[in-house]
Structure 1
Amino acid sequence: MTNKYVLAISGNDIFSGGGLYADLATYTTNHLHGFLAVTCLTALTDKGFEVFATDEAIFSHQLNSLKDVPFSGIKLGLLPNVKVADLALDFVKKHTEIPVVLDPVLVCKEKHDVEVSVLCDELLKFFPYITIVTPNLVEAELLTQMSIKSLDDMKAAAKHLHELGAKNVVIKGGNRLSEEKAIDVFYDGKEISVFETPVLDTNNIGAGCTFASSIASQIVLGKSPKEAVALSKDFVFQAIRHSDQYGVKQNYEED
């Protein structure tokens, strides 16, 4: 079988639970050949969990190095600033013939409100060129400027993101609406679908990254966006269910 090449434009997670580590592991699980363009490094410092953006020139060199690879799909993760996001957008515009998944990571790092607002505006520029966007509840609130407190709010926000230009939308509710169910909402411009799994007691991090890279993998493998979301929802549930409980997230949040 011919190899399918999938690019992750994403950041380094120093604890190896999310970011590029989750992307590559998911691609490998789906028998895809993963490539990376690294947007940032992270570290736990005396200021907390910090994100250090890749130098603009270095990031540009990374993308230029990959310009002739025949990619079958692209997954976008953490874009730490406007300069990096602009370069990533230029690259995506040159690959409009392949599926692109945007995971709009906005709240894993310390950011001032003005900076988050600027990044939101920048991420909205990707919408005409992507196949599906996968925000969590907080990211969906930031992108839509809507308050999301219920399942109906999630559905309304998904429709609004579609109106803003996203062809397909999945909003990750996690366990914020229910202590017993992890609820996600999918919208393709025609139909709302709700996906639920039981909430698991875990300290794992990186589920959102894994979910987005799994969706990218499934679309590359020929599934529709809705099918990809359904399969990826189950994939993440099973991955968490059978994973090691490292607990780093709890440790550094309590410091």
Structure 2
Amino acid sequence: MTIAKALTIAGSDSGGGAGIQADLKTFQELGVYGMSALTAATAQNTLGVQGVFPLTPEAVARQLDSIGKDLTPDAVKTGMLFSADIIEAIADRIAHYGWGNLVIDPVMVAKGGASLLKADAVTTLIRDLFPLALIITPNLPEAEMLTGMQLYKAEDIREAARRIHNMGPDMVIMKGGHAGGELARDLLYDGTGFTVFESLRIRTEATHGTGCTYSAAITAGLASGLSAIEAVRVAKDFIQAAIEDSLGIGSGHGPTNHFAYRQRRSQNGGVLN
């Protein structure tokens, strides 16, 4: 029996809703063996981030070497990377081991406003990591920071996708969670055309970790052998279920429900309702 393996390179969320905790939960729920390389520890909960404590680039690289020498991942995702030095170490190790199916979630700012990526690290992220990526998954504020554009109109979002694609990745997913309207509309751009993924927008405060979870679900799908389109489709269903079935914990932006997707499938004979 061959087990699909996925690696998350990201920060730790002490509240469990985002970061490597969200990624590993998502991998597990989608039947993929999860591994992790920690970039930083954060003190946070549903009310916000109270502290960020980065690891050294050497510590990050040593973790990746341990994975690379024994547990080759079928897909990799990055989340909170914090600094240019850490990004350089990660890009070096990914290139060294030749890992493919790289999903980059360009985490920059937490929901409460705390910075999770140093300003001078954005250039390094684009220069060193983007060319290695299969898929990049920016939300609209992140896309604005990457392109310098203001994204008010649908054509602006498409143009931003084209510009980010020109930075090196094979594909770009423009997440629509920050846009208005009754539908949450994500756009996948592959360099030639757009594929639209839509779901009903849920009005809720329980959205902590949505970006981490969504990109982790895509990574799990790729690790399992799904095409990029199929992986995004499953991830869209996964995050929709996670947002709709709130856990109702915490006093601020509560976490999504990582159990919901599997529970729905189990209740409906393997079919998501």
- Within 5 Å, give how 1:17-36 maps onto structure 2: 17-36=17-36
Partner of 2:87: 85
Instruction: Give the number of equivalent residue pairs.
Output: 247
Aligned residue runs from structure 1 range 13-162, under 5 A: 13-44=13-44, 49-68=50-69, 69-108=71-110, 110-111=114-115, 115-116=118-119, 118-124=120-126, 125-162=128-165
Query: 1:44: how far off?
Result: 4.4
Secondary structure in structure 1 of the residue aligned to 2:106: coil
- Aligned equivalents of 1:243, 1:48: Cα separation in 2: 21
Q: How far, CA to CA, are the matches of 1:215 and 1:48 in structure 2?
A: 26
Q: C-alpha deviations, 1:98-120, integer Å up to 9, x for none?
A: 2110001011263499x42x221
Aligned sequence identity (%): 33
| Number of the residue aligned with 2:198 | 196
Q: Give per-residue Cα distances to partners, 1:197-234, cap 9 Å, x unaligned.
A: 11113222111101001111111222221221122111
Alpha-carbon distance between aligned partners in 1 of 2:26 and 2:250, rounded to the nearest angstrom: 21
1:171 maps to 174
How far has the Cα of 1:245 moved from its partner?
Answer: 2.0
SS of 1:66 mapped into structure 2: helix
TM-score (norm 2): 0.84
**Deviation at 1:192?**
0.8
**Larger displacement relative to structure 2 (137-146 or 54-63):** 54-63
Query: 180-189 vs 239-248, which deviates more?
Result: 239-248
1:247 Cα deviation from its structure 2 partner: 4.0
**Equivalent-residue separation in structure 2 for 1:221 and 1:27 (angstroms):** 10
Give 3-state SS (helix, strand or coil) of 2:122's partner: helix
Alpha carbons of 1:11 and 1:137: their partners in 2 closer, same or farther (altered >3 Å)? same
- The 3-state SS of whatever aligns with 1:39 is strand
**Partner secondary structure for residue 22 of structure 2:** helix
1:186 corresponds to 2:188:
yes
Aligned to 2:270: none
Moved over 4 A (4+): none
Verify the 8 A CA contact 2:75 2:99 in the aligned structure 1: no
SS of equivalent to 1:42: strand
Is the 1:203–1:247 contact (alpha carbons within 8 Å) kept by the matching residues of 2?
no
Equivalents in 1 of 2:150, 2:233: separation in Å? 25
Q: Which blocks of at least 5 consecutive residues in structure 2 are unaligned?
A: 255-273
Could you tell me whether the CA contact under 8 Å between 1:144 and 1:161 is conserved in 2? Answer: yes
SS at match of 1:239: helix
TM-score (structure 1 length as normaliser): 0.89
Instruction: Supply the RMSD in Å over aligned alpha carbons.
Output: 2.1
2:271 matched residue in structure 1: none
Tell me whether 123-132 or 104-113 shows the greater mean CA deviation.
Answer: 104-113
CA drift of 1:74 comes to 0.6
Are the equivalent residues in 1 in contact too, given 2:84–2:125 (CA < 8 A)?
A: no
Rounded to whole Å, the distance in 1 between the matches of 2:219 and 2:212 is: 11
Contact 2:144 / 2:150 at 8 angstroms: preserved in 1? yes
Q: Distance in 2 between matches of 1:185 and 1:121?
A: 24
2 CA distance for matches of 1:93 and 1:212?
21
